[in-house]
Amino acid sequence: MTAYRIGIDVGGTNTDAAILDENLRCIATAKVSTTDDVFGGVRAAINTLLSETGIAARDIGLAMLGTTHCTNAIVERKRLQRVGLLRLAGPATAAVPPLANWPEDLAAAVALKWQIVGGGYEYDGRILSQLVEDEIRAVAREWRGNVDAVAICGVFSNINSEQECLAEQWILEELGPISITLSHRIGSLGFLPRENASILNAALGEVMGDVISGFAEALKATKLDHVRALIGQNDGTLMSADVARTFPVLTIGCGPTNSLKGAAFLSGRKDAIVVDVGGTTADIGMLSKGFPRQSALAVDIGGVRTNFRMPDIISLAVGGGTVITKDSTGEPVIGPQSVGYRLTTEAMVFGGKTLTLTDISTVLGVGLRIGNCVPDVPATFCSRAFDSVLKRLATGVDRIRTNAAPLPVILVGGGSALFPDHIDGTDEVIRPANFGAANAIGVAIGDVSGEVDRIVTMRDEIREQTLASLRNEAIQAAILAGADPATVEVLEQEDIPLSYLPGNATRIRFKVAGRLLSRA
């Protein structure tokens, strides 16, 4: 019998875990300090769950992991692979080189080698320039031994992907089994943002490989190597390890997304504002029909403008480990620094010397009392600091709204225990049971999704047939990924006429999701 599932979310400060039964009832949760590697913290969290519940390892059938490793790698400019970019666009795009608006330190971290070659399409699908096989093969030979991964980006490849696929074939024949990212699978409209997203995806291959292998090692060490392992992505659904290796960039932002999904599940609310407070940040997002609202704008990741899907999240430098200092006038300064996973050694409530938001909350007697002592800090100073933090939260909640309609605010995350059950400007604040592990529960209950995002020529006589075909394609993608066919439903449908393109060009997007089959 494999009735149970485990959800694990690795954050910058803590690794949270939860075990759920076949009815998705939360049996137990665990919170341990995040370790430098994936293996240590995940193993400790799983061992804690199994020992506290007495559930046998053989009764666990599913394990899901949400991770911030890819986000951290970009933000910290660490462990990024050397990328070779092949731009199929010459000579039309030579005026704007790749990485034109990237931060210098991030551009240096990916050590990009790039080449603009013939290729690409016009906006109406006509060929802009023919591919030259010898040209592309010559570039690949120059890159041999000098790049770890390749990104291929063609002008309007989201209308016709044939050239990108052909270039991929030639590069594989020259370089052997190397990771290749094709831009039409990553981004949408907007050539440079799509190119940026493709480069980032290629650069993250090693990081995701380490995450997957570390997760597998932790499962093996806890006698769970028989379970089906899945990775959370940033739209609140799950993907296999193989898909995660191919599209590591889709895990960026999955931490807040998992918390939003968990908040919806724990509170029973499908439409709400969620405030997820961790050790370093407070992430504020919006739930719509039980799923995180996606950003409608180009998303900035580590200083790079991209156009692939991301949850609409406002992140504030406010968390349990946020460092509190004074300015020259004695007024409190909130962060942005955080002690992170060193909270239990550096915060004053644990005998350390750094004043944190946890210490401020303890002095004021607000929220959950943790630690073993009360810091000797003036209450008036603490009150001013705490009021400043509450104003930031209230402002963030107001910014995420799209209208004045009343919506409940759901508080989740371990750091939310430091805050009162009221936020200015809100009518209702909900702090559900197991709120501290909402992120782990969110990834554990994740559905399996399928998506189609394509530009097509839409004629009235075949409109319904075209829509049905694309809808079915998205549904089949979800089923192939492991969704129960009986539960797959359409979550989002977009039908956007592109008036600046000829031939009744229309962007069609279908997003579907279904419950995971435990024995898929």
Percent of the chain scoring above 70 in pLDDT? 95
First to last CA, the chain: 15
Sheet strands (E) in 74-223: 83-90, 113-118, 149-154, 179-182
Task: Please determine, for residue 324, whether its predicted confidence score (pLDDT) is greater than 70.
Answer: yes
Q: Name the residue with higher pLDDT: 505 or 257.
A: 257
Nearest Cα to Cα of residue 411 among 440, 435, 441, 437:
435
pLDDT at 342: 83
Higher pLDDT, 65 or 35: 65
Q: What is the mean pLDDT of residues 205-214?
A: 92
Q: Which contacts qualify for 144-148: CB closer than 8 Å, 24 or more apart? A: 144/174, 144/175, 146/82, 146/84, 146/113, 147/81, 147/82, 147/83, 147/84, 147/113, 147/178, 148/81, 148/82, 148/83, 148/178, 148/179, 148/205, 148/206
How confident is the model at residue 502, as a pLDDT?
60
State yes or no: pLDDT of 335 exceeds 90: no
DSSP state of 445: T
Express each pLDDT in 23-52 by its tens digit.
889 999 999 888 777 788 899 999 999 999
CB atoms inside a 10 Å sphere around CB 492: 16
Query: Span 230-234, mean pLDDT?
Result: 89
Weakest-pLDDT range from 9-13, 259-263, 415-419: 9-13
Give bridge partners of residue 493 from the DSSP assignment. 510
Tens-digit pLDDT profile for residues 75-111 = 778 889 999 999 998 776 777 888 888 888 889 999 9
Residues 6+ apart with CB under 8 A from 194: 153, 158, 183, 186, 187, 188, 306, 307, 308
Give the residue-averaged pLDDT of 359-380: 88
pLDDT at residue 435, as a whole number: 92
Top-confidence residue, 132 or 497:
132
- In percent, the amount of the chain with pLDDT more than 90 equals 46
Between residues 279 and 229, the one the model is more confident about: 229
Residue 73 has what pLDDT?
Answer: 84
**Rounded Cα distance, 120 and 327, in Å:** 55
- Least confident span in 65-79, 206-220, 408-422: 65-79
Q: Average model confidence (pLDDT) for the chain?
A: 87
**Alpha-carbon gap, residue 179 to 172, rounded angstroms:** 9
pLDDT-wise least confident of 148-162, 267-281, 291-305: 291-305
- Say what the pLDDT of residue 1 is: 46
Mean pLDDT for the stretch of residues 433-446: 92
| pTM, rounded to two decimals | 0.81
Quote the pLDDT of residue 308.
67
The pLDDT value given to residue 520:
41
pLDDT given for residue 434 in this prediction: 92
